[in-house]
Amino acid sequence: MSGSEDTIEDVAELRQALAEAMDEVKSVRQAMAEAEARQEELQRTHEEVISRVKRESNHDVMVAALRSEAIRMGAHNPDDVVRLIDMEGVTRNEDGTVMGVTEVLERSRNDRGYLFGDVLRPGYSSGTTVGHPAPRPGEVEAFNARSATDSDYEARKWQFLAGA
């Protein structure tokens, strides 16, 4: 009978070890579930922050495009023009280009003409403002070997010899 008592004790020990292992598995599963929940929360928060940053950067780029086009169209105060217009027609494509700026500003110019002045053309004067014409390219100056430095003289000499 001593053999069967040892078997019963072994079975009891095995049952106790199995119960402890089951408790450990439960605690590990619970820890994994908590970790997955934290990961999902972090991912959701991360996606929200990324979408907010994209939205804000798109808005800033669109405002800059509107401001520069308002300056080109002769706005008295481009910042006021940007604040007062309806930006509904302005969008930014996936490649980063801003679409609809000219149309929105033309509509604003028709609705609120007092925000814009005449477009200043180069070479003309308007009141006290003078639009200077675009600069023309200069002419090539003749090379003076007497006043050139030694390094300039050597460089020109080799250019001349290479071209001959």
pLDDT at 116 over 80: yes
Whether 86 is in a domain gets the answer: yes
Assigned domain for 39 exists: yes
Per-residue model confidence (pLDDT) at position 45? 94
Residue 12 included in any domain? yes
Q: How far is CA 11 from the centre of its chain?
A: 67
Would you tell me how many other CB atoms lie within 10 Å of the CB of residue 13?
A: 10
93 falls within a domain: yes
pTM above 0.75, yes or no: no
154 CB burial (10 A radius; 0-12, 13-18, 19+): exposed
Question: How many domains does the structure of the chain reveal?
Answer: 1
Domain of 49, in residue numbers = 2-117
The answer to whether residue 144 sits within a structural domain is no
Q: pLDDT tens for residues 50-75?
A: 999 999 998 899 999 999 888 888 88
* Within a domain: 25: yes
Q: At what angle do helices 2-72 and 101-111 cross, to 10 degrees?
A: 50
**d(C-alpha 3, C-alpha 36), whole Å:** 49
Does residue 27 fall inside a structural domain? yes
Q: What is the DSSP string of 15-45?
A: HHHHHHHHHHHHHHHHHHHHHHHHHHHHHHH
Of 26-35, 49-58, 72-81, 145-154, minimum mean pLDDT range: 72-81
Asked whether residue 130 carries a pLDDT value surpassing 90, the answer given is: no
Mean pLDDT of 2-16: 78
Task: Name the pLDDT band for 140 (thresholds 50, 70, 90).
Answer: confident
Give a yes or no: residue 33 inside a domain.
Answer: yes
Q: What percent of the chain has pLDDT over 70?
A: 87
